[in-house]
Structure formats: C-alpha cells, structure tokens
Amino acid sequence: MPLTATPILPRFGAECSGLDLTKPLSPEEVKQVTDAMDKWGICVFRDTGMTNEQHVEFSRNFGYLERVPKREGQRMRLPCRELFDASNLNVDGEITQDKAAIQYRKGDRLWHTDSAFLEKRTSYSLLLAHQVPSKGGETWFADTRSAYEDLSEEMKAFLEDKIGINSLWWSRKMAGADIPDEEIETRFLAKHPLVHVHKGSGRKALFIAAHTMDIEGMEKEKGRELIRELIAHCTQPQYTFSVTWHPGDLVIWDNLCSMHRGGDFDFEHQKRDMRRTTVREGTEPHMMETGDDPYTELFSSSPKVVDIQGARADGR
C-alpha cells in the first residue's frame, strides 16, 4: 500500500499511513517518505510497532545517524549510541530525581531545532514513543517556511545575508541555567544563515532556534530582540500544531524547515519514555562512521552546570 498523507495544517504537518515501518523499505517507499517530508515538514506515523533496532534501521535510510557522546564510565539506559534518550528516566528506568537533570531538560520546552549548535546541522529527527504520561507531554511544531514566506518584503530583504550565531549553552541559559555570556563566548559557536533554501522543496525557511544567541554584525541587544521577534512570529497559531503521543507513534521532523518544543507534563511523577534518532544534514543513506561525533568533544569541554550524569547530552 502506498503512503497516504493527510494534512494537519494546510501547508504543514501530515498524518501518514500505509507503510509498514518495521520492515526494510524499498527505494520507492523511502522516496514516498522523503517526498512527504519535503512537502509537509513533519510526518506522524501512528502505532508503528517499531523496536529499537527497527527504529535505527529505518532511520538509516535518511543518512548518517548522530551518536550520543561517549563519557568515561557512564552507563547508558538505551542499547546503542544512535538512540538519544529523550525520557525523564535515569539509567535504571526510574523517574530521575536529579535536580540538575530536571533543570537541564527544561531547555526542551523552548522552541528549538536539534543540533543547531553544531557545525553540521541535523536534517531529520525521528522520535518514537515508548511510554507516555496520562496527561500532557505533547510535542509542538512550527512551520519556518510558511512563516518566512509571510514576512514583509522589507524584512526578507533585511534578513537575506544575515548569519546567526548558535550555542548550546545559550539555550541552557535561556532555560534558567546560570552561565555568564563571557563564558558562553569561549565555548563552541556554530554559524548558520538565518534564511536558507530548503533543498527538498526549494522553499526558503528561517533557521532560528533557542540556540541562536546573536546575529553577526548586529549590535547584541538589537540582534537578540530580532531573534525573539522571529521566534514569536514563527510560533503563531497559524504555523503551529501539537502531536499527542501514544506508545508506538513515530514522528519525523525536518529541522531545516521547522522548530519544535516539548509540552508540559507531570515530570516528577509520570514516566515519559521517548527515544530519538537524528540524521546529519547532507549525508548518504546507510552511512556509517567510526570514531566520535563532534558531540563528544563538545561535551568533554562543557561547563559543569550541564555536565551531569544521566543528562540528555544533546542540548535539546
């Protein structure tokens, strides 16, 4: 059966069905998925029945999968480094009581794109629900192509060659962590154009996120105000929707034409077990690498405030 996509908003997001994602996909089926992604930006597949292995295998159709940083002596909850732990659980599968981990994860509640703080951006993120709270814990998505298209011509012209400066630590600071600007500026900064052409669709998109700290060549306060304004513009109701999860649901989002954020839930009492694979922009399907991802280096030099046992180590 071919893939069927039912739009969620007129220009953004689709509920998809018709493919069995637990089985290896034919090249034609993979293309159906990438075509739907290019058009809709977010694809929601319900009740997939996928295991960890099937999740990873399916994800490899879209490129190289980023890997969780290696930390000496740290046990991992999940069986392979291609699975990022987006849960509120510790390595033993219990709700984490670690104040630092809880604080660190508050960053997920800000509008962001995954890995915008790395030099090589993330294209697709594929998040699979394993266990969900009885209430809340939805994920929100925002359409950065339509939001760009609806800007005034004057604003589009102003943004055309502007470069955003992105930092993992900036988003942590925005979420309440106490890190001085001077310290952030000594850490790794990634530069990405604020506007780019989304390859799969040829449409232009804004590329801004909680990680975007400054705009190159703009006075800091003015740049930061503009970043706040653009995020507020993109996250207006006409550009956003939320997904309510059930175990087995898989959502693929294209970070290069969307932003996302986690919704609230009773973090301290309800388990939410979500696992994510993350595809690196511009890489080939089934590409494998040995050695470490830039994450490992980034986190080995991370300020103490976020260098915590069991914390989700990818800055979402």
Answer yes or no whether residue 316 interacts with Mn ion by CB under 5 A: yes
Interface residue with ligand OGA, options 127, 147, 252, 257 (CB under 6 A) = 127
Judge whether 248 and 50 are in contact, CB under 8 Å: yes
* Amino acid letter, 173: K
Q: Which does 198 bind (CB under 5 to 8 A by kind): ligand OGA, Mn ion, none?
A: none
The closest residue (CB) to ligand OGA is 262
Q: Which residues pair with 197 in a beta bridge?
A: 204
Interface residue with Mn ion, options 85, 114, 214, 273 (CB under 5 A) = 114
Residues numbered 59-98 forming contacts with ligand OGA, rule: CB under 6 A = 86
Residues numbered 253-272 forming contacts with ligand OGA, rule: CB under 6 A = 260, 262
Can you read off the two tokens belonging to residue 205? 């998109």
Kindly state the smallest distance separating residue 86's Cβ from ligand OGA, in Å: 4
Burial bucket for residue 239 (CB in 10 Å: 0-12, 13-18, 19+): buried
Q: Which does 274 bind (CB under 5 to 8 A by kind): Mn ion, ligand OGA, none?
A: ligand OGA
| 136 versus 285: smaller Cβ distance to ligand OGA | 136
Answer yes or no whether residue 316 interacts with ligand OGA by CB under 6 A: yes
Ramachandran assignment for 150, one of left (phi > 0), alpha (psi -120 to 50 degrees), beta (any other): alpha
Q: Integer distance in angstroms from the first to the last C-alpha of the chain? A: 35
Interface residue with ligand OGA, options 96, 139, 167, 258 (CB under 6 A) = 139
25: which residues sit within 8 A by CB, 6+ positions away?
A: 19, 33, 58, 61
Residues numbered 13-32 forming contacts with Mn ion, rule: CB under 5 A = none
| 239 versus 253: smaller Cβ distance to ligand OGA | 253
Burial bucket for residue 172 (CB in 10 Å: 0-12, 13-18, 19+): buried
Query: With CB under 5 A as the contact rule, which of the stretches 110-118, 131-139, 197-205, 298-306 interacts with Mn ion?
Result: 110-118
Q: Which does 127 bind (CB under 5 to 8 A by kind): Mn ion, ligand OGA, none?
A: ligand OGA
The percent helix, strand, coil of the chain (3-state, each to 5) is 30, 25, 45
Answer yes or no whether residue 105 interacts with ligand OGA by CB under 6 A: no
Kindly state the smallest distance separating residue 113's Cβ from ligand OGA, in Å: 9
Supply φ then ψ for residue 73, to 5 degrees: 75, 5
* Amino acid letter, 33: V
* Residue 243, helix vs strand vs coil: strand
Site for Mn ion, rule CB under 5 A: 114, 316
Site for ligand OGA, rule CB under 6 A: 86, 108, 114, 125, 127, 139, 260, 262, 274, 276, 316
